């Protein structure tokens, strides 16, 4: 196990009706004027919008609104939000939605006090030193952004999708009511589950030795998601199953599962090129990438893939042929994706083969850097994986 520091300061407020506490929680943070940031019309149709507004007004919190966040959130709207905050003296941002809304809110937060362009942080040209605080009312368990140090944005100029990872952007609080997920469409539910599983698997596949505790935590969280996704597809208003998935989304990405180990993250890097260019749902893209990445790299650490197969997917151990066991685990992952309605090929995502080299080039910065740690991948490796995904 490696040395590590672990910090998870986000206050979690979990359970039925907790969204009604949002005004009080913002007041505790000392905020005077809030940017209420959200996506489309779903929070209005569900009645959540009215609950948030009522809570803010009851506690005397002044606010202005900015809706319109899209999946794979755009830097153009972030720039609009930054100007809105500066012009109106905003001192707190409330994100009501899923990962895209939260990531957009985090980007606005770091952009307001910065004299340059916010994309500098995502392009690696600068690192934020201060931010407006962000609070969250979560409606989609998927990205884990409600308690993470991560934010991902898409730049329409070149369709680059890039991430920022700094401690100061972890939200102050996250209000999480599983009831708010009852109306999620099935496809959005399973894309979210794929995202959760990917966050766990990025951490799980490591060469760091003696990490049995976090291995077991990863495996348990994966098995929880695998067990409960079919339940919520059949029973969308099953509170207990929805609660298991929602809490798993937070645990998967608040860095608890990262402690003492080095993760991989190549699959996320590759998928960012898919959703950056083609705007596919992130979870759907990850369901296509992960099995291909696994089959490309498993020989770098067969024992880890055998453990994954046996402990997570209950594959019978083939002592005479460990590779067969490892491959069976990968096949069961892919079969699970298919069973819940996720794509497992670029063809199913309607992505042609004419921009594979461009994606491989972007992923590796023109073949000047590698991606991933389990096996360091250059441009040709990424291109090979993309071709396996066809």
Instruction: List, in order of start, the domains of the chain with CATH numbers.
Output: 11-180 (3.40.50.1970), 185-388 (1.20.1090.10)
Which residue in 142, 107, 136, 146 sits closest to 8, CA to CA?
Answer: 146
Which pLDDT does position 329 carry in this prediction?
98
- Which pLDDT score is estimated for 41? 84
60: closest CA among 86, 26, 109, 95?
26
Coil, strand or helix at 268: helix
* pLDDT value of residue 40: 87
CA–CA dist 81, 74 (Å, integer): 11
Terminal C-alpha separation, the chain: 37
Q: Let me know: does 171 contact 26? Beta carbons within 8 Å.
A: no
Asked if residues 237 and 188 have their Cβ atoms less than 8 Å apart, the reply is no
Contact predicate 281/366, CB 8 Å? no
pTM of the model: 0.95
Neighbours of 160 (CB within 10 A): 18
Q: How confident is the model at residue 122, as a pLDDT?
A: 98
Q: Edge to edge, what strands does the sheet with 133-138 contain? A: 11-14, 173-176, 133-138, 92-97, 33-38, 62-66
Q: Residues in the chain with pLDDT < 70?
A: none
What pLDDT, in 10s, does the model give residues 264-301?
999 999 999 999 999 999 999 999 999 999 999 999 99
């Amino acid at each position: 196990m490696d040395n590590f520091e672990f910090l998870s300061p986000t206050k979690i407020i979990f359970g039925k009706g907790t969204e009604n506490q949002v005004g009080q929680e913002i007041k505790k943070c000392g905020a005077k004027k809030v940017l209420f940031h959200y996506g489309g019309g779903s929070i209005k149709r569900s009645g959540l919008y009215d609950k948030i507004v009522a809570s803010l007004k009851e506690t005397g919190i002044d606010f202005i609104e900015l809706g319109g966040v899209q999946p794979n959130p755009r830097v153009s709207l972030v720039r609009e939000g930054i100007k809105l905050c500066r012009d109106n003296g905003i001192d707190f941002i409330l994100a009501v939605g899923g990962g895209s809304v939260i990531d957009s809110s985090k980007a606005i937060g770091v952009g307001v006090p910065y004299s340059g362009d916010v994309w500098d942080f995502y392009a690696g040209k600068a690192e934020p030193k201060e931010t407006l605080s962000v609070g969250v009312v979560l409606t989609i368990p998927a990205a884990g952004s409600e308690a993470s140090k991560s934010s991902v944005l898409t730049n329409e100029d070149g369709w680059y999708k890039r991430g920022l990872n700094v401690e100061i952007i972890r939200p102050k609080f996250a209000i999480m009511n599983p009831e708010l997920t009852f109306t999620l469409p099935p496809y959005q539910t399973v894309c979210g589950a794929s995202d959760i599983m990917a966050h766990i698997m990025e951490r799980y596949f490591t060469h760091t030795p003696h990490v049995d505790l976090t291995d077991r935590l990863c495996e348990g969280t994966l098995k929880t998601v695998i067990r409960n996704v079919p339940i919520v597809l059949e029973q969308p208003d099953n509170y207990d199953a929805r609660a298991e998935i929602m809490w798993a989304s937070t645990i998967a990405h608040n860095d608890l599962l990262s402690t003492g180990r080095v993760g991989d993250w190549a699959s996320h890097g590759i998928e960012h090129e898919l959703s950056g260019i083609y705007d596919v749902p992130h979870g759907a893209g990850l369901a296509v990438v992960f099995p291909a990445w696994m089959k490309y790299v498993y020989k770098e650490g067969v024992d880890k893939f055998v453990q994954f197969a046996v402990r997570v997917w209950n594959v019978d151990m083939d002592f005479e042929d460990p590779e067969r066991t490892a491959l069976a685990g990968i096949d069961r992952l892919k079969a699970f994706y298919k069973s819940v309605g996720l794509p497992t090929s670029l063809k199913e995502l309607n992505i042609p083969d004419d921009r594979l080299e461009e994606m491989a080039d972007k992923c590796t910065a023109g073949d000047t850097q590698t991606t991933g740690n389990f096996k360091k991948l250059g441009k040709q490796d990424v291109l090979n994986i993309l071709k396996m995904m066809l």
